[in-house]
Amino acid sequence: MRRVMVGLLVLAAVLLGLPGPTRARERMAADPGAVRWFRDARFGMFLHWGVYSLHGRGEWVMNNEGIPISEYEKLPGRFNPTGFQAREWVSMAKQAGMRYITITSKHHDGFAMYDSRLTKYDIVDATPFRRDVLKELADECRRQGLKLFFYYSQLDWHHPDFFPRGGTGRRAGRPDQGEWARYKQFYFGQVRELCTRYGKIGGLWFDGWWDRPNADWGHDELYAMIHRLQPQALVGNNHHHAPFPGEDFQMFEQDLPGENSAGFNRAGVSDLPLETCRTMNNSWGYNAGDTRHRPAPDLIRYLIQAAGRDANLLLNTGPLPDGRIQPEHRERYLAMGSWLQERGEAIYGTRGGPFRPSRWGVSTRRDRTIFLHILNWPAGGRLRLTGLRAGIREALPLRSVTPIPVTQTEDDVELALPDSLRDPVDAIVRLELEQSAEALPWIAGTR
């Protein structure tokens, strides 16, 4: 009897919109523990994989070449990545020193890389492969201790109800009609599938809002649903604007936070956890013609530059249609892993600063230690820093016990760097302070 009474009371409370147990006050943020994990993780693998990989001309081929749906729908029948092994991909990410993987569950072409019960346009129902690669990756990530995030495109060039059309997907050959509410229900349903059928997930990485910025996407409801179903999941949205309510991290595409070489990173830097996503060449999806792969030292320095700006690096590869990883990208990932094997303590679990990015490099910090990442050797090996309001106990090369001569006055610190410290990638000095470095305010950099 009491149980029925309580049930009725809760029901009344919800129906009357009265504040009730937590459920009524929608969760609009991820667990603080998960947020801390994300900040500590610093390095993840981005995977752009789909039937577009068959063309080998990137993930926008359908739109860029005006391929109509009738034509594009022939691709799934040819998609059979028998070379795909979740264990192999996850092991590579782990060897690369990565803590999480973000994979395209559905990109703008609308093709689901998982077994969606809301469409037949997916890898299980429409390909000879018939395997749910997200399921296999989710299980393998759990086995190897990495987290799995799902990239999900809100933009859909295939769905008939993605109407009115936005800036893209206009040459797909869809009739000029459709029911937006039906599309919204569809994409909510797919997000719910991703939040209910793959165990605990790391989070959602949304994209495509920019195609219809004024549409009713229902973000409040969507984010609340995710936070309810997956309290530890972080939500991010690649809309290139300041974070919307309910988002847990802010991403920057092809730019370090605060920079805008790409042209669309106009948003300021929020105090949410930050993530920069980057291509290894200039393509997200597999592009056979794009062989301008950035050298491993440049990629390692980019990871350091991101950490020095308190951001993660989500480094992308576009797997081949047969399920293999491009050898040039595997090689670079593993080179980054060897570097992190030896110097990861200056990256993982750190926060950016306190010295802002400068001509000489960047800094990271944890507890009483500041790591100076000297990316450009200062003239005469003499590094001068101003504005540090903390006493330095000693300065040491990261991997040696031989102290570095340091003089500190009220406002200035001068380090006499030994030549033996020179390093073409990153010469790291650890400053051991008399107090915690984490509470120190950011200190203006020396340009």
Nearest approach in angstroms of CB 58 to ligand JFZ is 8
- Residue whose CB is less far from ligand JFZ, 244 or 264: 264
Nearest approach in angstroms of CB 125 to ligand JFZ is 24
Nearest approach in angstroms of CB 63 to ligand JFZ is 9
Select the residue interacting with ligand JFZ from 136, 253, 290, 414 (CB under 6 A). Answer: 253
Select the residue interacting with ligand JFZ from 207, 247, 248, 310 (CB under 6 A). Answer: 207
For residue 335, give both structure tokens: 């080179």
Nearest approach in angstroms of CB 443 to ligand JFZ is 33
Nearest approach in angstroms of CB 66 to ligand JFZ is 17
- Residue whose CB is less far from ligand JFZ, 42 or 240: 240
Residue 430 one-letter amino acid: R
Give the Cβ contact number of residue 117 at 10 Å: 12
- According to DSSP, the residues that pair with 279 across neighbouring strands are 316
Closest residue to ligand JFZ, judged by C-beta, is 264
User: CA angle, corner 341, sides to 340 and 343, nearest 5?
Assistant: 55
**H or E element in which residue 104 lies:** strand 100-106
How many chain residues are in contact with ligand JFZ, going by CB under 6 A? 10
- According to DSSP, the residues that pair with 236 across neighbouring strands are 205
Select the residue interacting with ligand JFZ from 129, 180, 188, 210 (CB under 6 A). Answer: 210
Name the phi and psi angles at 182, rounded to 5: -70, -40
Nearest approach in angstroms of CB 370 to ligand JFZ is 33
Report if residue 238 touches ligand JFZ, rule: CB under 6 A. yes
Site for ligand JFZ in 24-63 (CB under 6 A): 59-60
User: For 54, what's the count of Cα atoms within 13 Å in the CB-facing half-sphere?
Assistant: 15
- Residue whose CB is less far from ligand JFZ, 252 or 360: 252
Compute the chain's Rg from CA coordinates: 24
Site for ligand JFZ in 280-299 (CB under 6 A): 284
- Residue whose CB is less far from ligand JFZ, 267 or 443: 267
Helix (H, G, I), strand (E, B) or coil at 316: strand
Select the residue interacting with ligand JFZ from 277, 280, 296, 311 (CB under 6 A). Answer: 277
CB 207 within 8 A of CB 237: yes
Strands (E), 116-224: 147-153, 203-207
Nearest approach in angstroms of CB 329 to ligand JFZ is 16
Residue 82 one-letter amino acid: T
Place of tokens 């859909």: 156
Report if residue 264 touches ligand JFZ, rule: CB under 6 A. yes
From 253, 294, 312, select the one nearest 43 (Cα to Cα). 312
Any alpha helices (H) in 54-114, and if so which ranges? 61-64, 69-72, 86-95
User: Can you give the binding site for ligand JFZ, defined by CB under 6 A?
Assistant: 59-60, 207, 210, 238, 240, 253, 264, 277, 284
